[in-house]
Amino acid sequence: MKPVNTDTNLANNWAMALHLSVFAAYLVPLAGIIAPILSWQMKKDEIPNLDAHGKVVINWILSAIIYTVISGLLISVFIGIPMLAVLAIAGIVFPIIGGIKAGDGELWPYPMSIRFLK
């Protein structure tokens, strides 16, 4: 049996929770923005690699907001509707994949995400 490093498991669990905290928006408005920022800022100095995961998540949130506004503006020319559909699917799938990878100790930058924070 392989020894379990609890520090690594704790870091992976926090990183996974950070990615999945985006889904808090489905329960409470704006919680999907506030929860990731708070957990990232409170733990980034204590837990190694959490800063990188936090930047990935915040970059995705900012990118998704921009894509939503652009898609909303493009609804009048009908291309905005499929763009919103793709964005809705990506908004569910990307945090799940990011959370699974973070649980395994990997950093997964979300596709289509604009890198505001590096």
Q: How far is CA 12 from the centre of its chain?
A: 14
Question: CA 118, CA 51: separation in Å to the nearest integer?
Answer: 10
Percentage of the chain with pLDDT > 70? 96
Please give the model's pTM, rounded to 2 decimal places: 0.89
pLDDT of residue 1 exceeding 60, the answer is no
The pLDDT of residue 7: 82
Over residues 7-32, mean pLDDT: 93
Strands (E), 1-118: none
When pLDDT is averaged across residues 63-88 and rounded to a whole number, the result is: 95
pLDDT for the residue numbered 53:
96
